Amino acid sequence: MTVALSPDLVAQADSFLVDFDTRANPWEFFQRLRETAPVLRTSSGTWLISTYADCQSVLKDDRLSRREAALRTSALPAGDAADQYTTRLVCEDGANHRRLRRIVNLPFAPRNIARWTPRIMSVAEDVLARRRQPRSMDFLEEFSYPLPIRVLCELLGVPHEDHARMGVWMSVLLEHINETASEEFTKQKMDAMVGLSAYLRDLVAERRAGAPQDDLMSAMIATEAEGDRLSERELIGILAELLHAGFESTANMMADGLHCLLEHPEQQRLLAEQPQLAESAVEEMLRFATPVLHALPRVALEDITLPSGGTVAQGVLVLALVASAARDPEYVQRPDEFDITRQDNPHIGFGLGEHYCLGASLARGEAVSTFRLLAQEMLATMRIDGPIAWKDHHIVRGLEALPIAW
């Protein structure tokens, strides 16, 4: 399929890759892409994929390599830190990726994560009780950032006295590193990666030497698949990846979801009156306010024709715009309507195929517990209580702050 592209659409696509204002409100741009150029090549050579069917195809096609994209896009200097990044589960393909997933899938299966729900709810209740001011707070700083790091530390068995140190490392690792990053920032990023890896290495050694404990780390160490086990490097890489992705993505999902609710008062009242709607509400938040604008990049290993008829060429970098797919009227009715009672909601906010998010069940559990708790406590009278701004980030559409009062 050949499409004559308007120069202003290509310019808008170029802006989307680098300008946070464009990424903060991308919905009109996404609609233009879906309707006129579902497969678009930007001036930099990156290809944007915008329809649900095409994004679904990209995410499931093993001819599109995460490994090649990770090697191409990592701005870390060669060495141990770069190796730690590019050998993570999310950066692997093919047989090695399938082997690692086969080993670690069981501890993260929904039925196994479900048994942690009481502990997640307990952490959420404690974090909410620690808010600094009565009846007001910055939801991001005082709740949605502390909660996932506390939950991850609790479930992995990180001692309580080390939670703050873990939070500092995660805060540094949240920041995007690219070719324009300063030498000082690059060193901070590498130091955080090395420090976190060293800490996890000691914790893994401690777990292996002692009696199994009731935590996810012990479960991952104990898991075998056809006689295969994780090496120390593989286990540390997966743990670091889980901490990194599980912290930022979950925090943004909860903050963006609450922002959605407060922007739609009728849906806010409905959830406050019916906390049992928390599960369907979270799924609708993931669709309507997808916190990740696009999946991690992939490189085409050969020419690939997509369902729309568009073709991506061998060797090009491909971005599946999952946030655009979530608003595609070909897949969902009333795509621009926020409806927490929506039942038919097969969004792809957690990805698809072999790289489906390992921590999806855990993130869902945290979000459902959070919104059930908020509905029971203060959601009915909650309101936005200050200016809203979106952060400048290469993948995430997330808030800088969410001041609320009730």
Quick one: pLDDT at residue 274?
97
User: 2 lies in a domain?
Assistant: no
Would you say residue 219 has pLDDT above 70?
yes
Strands 47-49 and 317-320, how do they pair? parallel
Would you say residue 181 has pLDDT above 80?
no
Would you say residue 127 has pLDDT above 60?
yes
Pair 293, 391: CB distance under 8 Å: no
Please report which helix (H) or strand (E) contains residue 166, including its range.
helix 163-174
Domain carrying residue 52: 7-405
Pair 87, 232: CB distance under 8 Å: no
Please report which helix (H) or strand (E) contains residue 200, including its range.
helix 183-209
Number of domains comprising the chain = 1
User: 159 lies in a domain?
Assistant: yes
User: 1 lies in a domain?
Assistant: no
Quick one: pLDDT at residue 179?
47
Q: How confident is the model at residue 102 (pLDDT cuts 50, 70, 90)?
A: confident
From the list 232, 351, 365, 218, the residue with the least C-alpha distance to 292 is 351
User: 190 lies in a domain?
Assistant: yes
For residue 261, what are the CA distances in angstroms to 172, 187, 268, 401?
Answer: 30, 39, 5, 16
CATH number of the domain residue 173 falls in: 1.10.630.10
Quick one: pLDDT at residue 293?
92
Quick one: pLDDT at residue 75?
55
Token output for 117: 């729900």
Would you say residue 45 has pLDDT above 70?
yes
User: 334 lies in a domain?
Assistant: yes
The 10s digit of each residue's pLDDT in 331-361 is: 999 999 999 999 989 899 999 988 999 889 9
For residue 63, what are the CA distances in angstroms to 67, 155, 214, 392, 402?
Answer: 11, 35, 39, 31, 40
Indicate the average pLDDT of the chain.
88
Quick one: pLDDT at residue 223?
80
* Number of other residues whose CB lies within 10 A of the CB of residue 335: 17
Would you say residue 386 has pLDDT above 90?
yes
